[in-house]
Amino acid sequence: MAEDARQLPLDLPAPPRYGREDFLRAPCNDAALTLIERWPAWPAPSLLLAGPPGAGKSHLSAIWARRAGALEIRPEALPSVAALAEAAPLALALDGLERVCDETALFHLLNFATERGVSLLMTARRLARAEDVRLPDLLSRLRRAPVMEIGAPDDDLMRAVLEKLFRDRQLVVDNGVLDYAALRLERSLEAARAFVEALDRESLAQGRRATRVLAGEVLRRFTEP
């Protein structure tokens, strides 16, 4: 019986790398990265980093958390004031304000950080609006934090990110593949990571080089609804 020439690679997605050496500086994120690296010389103890999905907010939050020795908090499960007092953190990182469900817990967390002089970095897709928050006092607390906005990746950053992701996987591609994908992918670092994983997987499955033709095939399937 003839064997199927198509290989079956293991589907083992590489976890995102959130080291400082993995973050690529660009005009859209330069100011935010500079402020992260200036800590603790911040304009206020708390800072809100806002930007669209895939702009690199989680990466910057992870960089700062390691730098500051911060306690990283899950927005879906905010700790109580008693738990925070017991942990006695010197810094707190809250990545994803839009996923917070317990406004009261968030209000107490912000008060805890202010009263204890704890540095706090928060990230969000956009600034909080009155219709987003039920507790008026919480909205005022959130608006006290200085805001640093980060933009979506431009073409040059998308190309640089793709090149690095391919290199990390030891996947050799032509410049044409990088240019082709950078111009057509959704402007997000998550989209770049998912595309590289998909192209690598397809290249292994078909036993073909990751050419522009194969990249086009993957991109068409990748971008279909």
pTM of the predicted model, to two decimals?
0.80
Distance CA 75, CA 62 (A): 15
Higher pLDDT, 172 or 70: 70
Residues of the chain with CATH 1.10.8: 155-223
Is the pLDDT at 119 greater than 80? The verdict is yes
On average, the pLDDT of the chain sits at 88
Is the pLDDT at 139 greater than 50? The verdict is yes
Is the pLDDT at 77 greater than 70? The verdict is yes
Q: Is the preceding peptide bond at 40 cis, omega within 30 degrees of 0?
A: yes
pLDDT of residue 10: 39
User: Stretch 112-124: mean pLDDT, rounded?
Assistant: 96
Of 1.10.620, 1.20.1510, 3.40.630, 1.10.8, the CATH number of 155-223 is 1.10.8
Is the pLDDT at 100 greater than 90? The verdict is yes
Residues of the chain with CATH 3.40.50.300: 27-149
- Range with top average pLDDT, 9-13, 75-79, 200-204: 75-79
Fold that domain 27-149 belongs to in CATH: Rossmann fold (3.40.50)
Distance CA 182, CA 6 (A): 28
